[in-house]
Amino acid sequence: MKLNDTIAAISTPAGAGGIGIIRISGPASEEISRLLFKSRRKIDHFKTHHLYHGEIVSPEKYTVLDEVLITIMRKPHSYTGEDIIEINCHGGPIILQAILSEVIKAGARHAEPGEFTRRAFLNNRLDLSQAEAVSDMIAAKTDRGLDLAISHLKGNLSEKVQAFRSSIIGILALLETSIDFPEEDIEIPLTSNLAGKIQLIIDELRELLSTYHEGKVYRDGISAVIAGKPNVGKSSLLNRLLGEKRVIVTPIPGTTRDFIEEVVNIKGIPVKLTDTAGIRDAENIIEKEGVELVWKKLSSADVVIIVLDGSEKLTGEDLEIIKKNKSRNCALVINKSDLTHILTDQELDSFLPDIRPLWISAKYGEGLSALKDQIHSLIISGTDDHRSEIIITNLRHNTALEKTADLLSKARGNVLEGISPEFAALDLRESLESLGEIVGETVNEEVLDRIFSTFCIGK
């Protein structure tokens, strides 16, 4: 990948829209814009971060492609750290492609996925964790997920990582002093004191690592499968949770044949809800295969929502569903609370003593708030009221922090055992490299290629 040429891409989503943006970055950006952009008044010098009104004209055909607004953002005060031109035109796909084609003909090349943000990283406008946060912001499925991405983009995680590095460097300096000047009368902290300093860093790392499960849930979401025998109200429950009629509901058992999946926001968590076919003794080969697929889907679910009919007694099908899912993360829902209660909590207690049944009416929406609370508590243990804390959302960051903690534990053990300080110093240097992977100080090209290949082309 060349990084000293000029790149261009459409930065707005595919499809028709009121406004479309074409972004150009690199040394030839202004030259290309002057070739294509024509204003009614002469512009001798483009001021940075100012909008200019005019038209984009094809130099070959002398035809006007669109009426536009353009702006130049001069280096280093731009997103990429290079000269950037942004062309704001009408958002029709034909218009955008026509203008982009002229930009390419004028000397730019098509940007690769994530190349604008990669240039921002390489030009020290963002560190690697901030660059990844840009992608997380775009992909955020809930407000909470967006909040976490913005926190990382602001550099909160980067600051924490640099604080860890600073503490480790301080300890490493003491060890290296004892290595370089073994005969000098230099006061070095007692072994227990040095080990204590390392342990403090390990404790902080472990505390940060403990947030990863929560962060991953808010970033990536979870899967929740609705299960039950036919006609207990599974599809009605899905519709009610979605707030719209997504699934056909009839009194006829077996209406739902295929999986129906939709994502809903439950207290900041993106939850992929799956409505399944009713589980019962199959009457034919097709239905048998469908039921087997339901069991397979249930085995990989993060949460299983078991739905029972409160207006009927438990059946063998109900008991089979309860038995096969009792060891999983379960929410037990008794539907049709608006009808006469035949099923009792006491009857269920012998089968699922650790799960409190929730009475709901999918038809009228009663009990839905309590169900959402329970789904949330099944995924997020404890409270979710730590808005100011740094939360790890990225597997790459989590892996690097775990490696750092292990290396520090090894260094601490070497210090306590009185082993030559060179060994502890080596572990500390490796821990610094591990932390450097998070912000991109010690990362290789292969990792960068993998990270930025997941970005959209215009970013």
Predicted confidence (pLDDT) at residue 238 exceeds the cutoff of 60: yes
Of 70-84, 105-119, 229-243, the least confident: 229-243
Give the separation between CA 380 and CA 346, rounded to whole angstroms.
Answer: 28
What is the per-residue pLDDT for 256?
A: 47
pLDDT digits (tens, 9 = 90+) for 6-29: 999 999 988 888 999 999 999 999
User: The pTM is what?
Assistant: 0.83
The predicted structure's pLDDT at residue 255: 44
The residue type of 115 is E
Residue 383 has pLDDT above 50, yes or no: no
> Stretch 264-269: mean pLDDT, rounded?
91
pLDDT in tens, 98-151: 999 999 999 999 999 999 999 999 999 999 999 999 999 999 999 999 999 999
Q: Which one of 3.30.1360.120, 3.30.470.30, 3.40.50.2000, 3.40.1000.10 gives the CATH number of domain 7-125?
A: 3.30.1360.120
Question: Residue 1's pLDDT is what?
Answer: 61
Residue 278 is predicted with a pLDDT of 79
8 Å CB contact between 304 and 409:
no
C-alpha angle with apex 386: 382 to 387, nearest 5 degrees?
A: 140
Q: Considering only CA atoms, which of 329, 335, 359, 365 is closest in space to residue 345?
A: 359
Report the pLDDT averaged over residues 289-310: 87
Which has more confidence, 409 or 249? 409
Q: According to the model, what pLDDT value does residue 248 have?
A: 47
When pLDDT is cut at 50, 70 and 90, the band that residue 60 belongs to is: confident
Taking 50 as the threshold, does the pLDDT of residue 205 lie above it?
A: yes
Q: How confident is the model at residue 421 (pLDDT cuts 50, 70, 90)?
A: confident
Indicate the pLDDT class of residue 271, thresholds 50, 70 and 90.
Answer: very high
How would you class 330 by CB atoms within 10 Å of its CB: exposed for 0-12, middle for 13-18, buried for 19 or more? buried
Tell me what the pLDDT averaged over the chain comes to: 88
Cα distances (angstroms) measured from residue 292 to each of 105, 181, 331: 56, 71, 21
* 95, 136 Cβ separation under 8 angstroms: no
How far is C-alpha 244 from the chain's CA centre?
A: 26
Chain mean position to CA 233: 32
pLDDT at residue 245 tops 50: yes
71 has a pLDDT exceeding 90: yes
Count CB atoms within 10 A of the CB of residue 409.
17
Residue 442 has pLDDT above 60, yes or no: yes
pLDDT range class, residue 90, cuts 50, 70, 90: very high
The secondary structure element, H or E, covering residue 260 is: strand 260-266
CATH C-level class of 218-379:
alpha beta
Please compute the mean of the pLDDT values over residues 366-389 and round it to a whole number.
78
The answer to whether residues 171 and 202 touch, using CB atoms and an 8 Å cutoff, is no
Q: Which residue has the higher pLDDT, 279 or 103?
A: 103
CATH T-level assignment (fold) for domain 132-211+391-440: Four Helix Bundle (Hemerythrin (Met), subunit A) (1.20.120)
Is the bond into 76 cis (omega within 30 degrees of 0)? yes
| Chain position carrying tokens 């038809």 | 363
Would you kindly state where each structural domain of the chain is located, as residue ranges?
7-125, 132-211+391-440, 218-379
Supply φ then ψ for residue 308, to 5 degrees. Answer: -120, 160
- H or E element: which one contains 195? helix 191-209
pLDDT higher for 453 or 104?
Answer: 104
> Given this model, what pLDDT does residue 277 score?
78
> Is it the case that residue 441 has pLDDT exceeding 70?
yes
Task: Determine the average pLDDT of the residues in 23-49.
Answer: 94
Report pLDDT for 409. 97
Q: Which of 62-76, 176-190, 283-297, 377-391 has maximum average pLDDT?
A: 62-76
Give the pLDDT of residue 202.
97
Q: What is the pLDDT of residue 252?
A: 46
Which stretches of 62-189 are DSSP H helices?
93-105, 115-122, 128-139, 143-153, 156-180
Which of 244-253, 275-284, 311-320 is predicted most confidently? 311-320
Query: Residue holding tokens 């001798």?
Result: 44
* Interatomic CA distance for residues 62 and 67, integer angstroms: 14
The residues pairing with 89 across neighbouring beta strands, listed in sequence order, are: 20
Q: 157 CB contacts (<8 Å, ≥6 apart)?
A: 129, 151, 390, 392, 397, 438
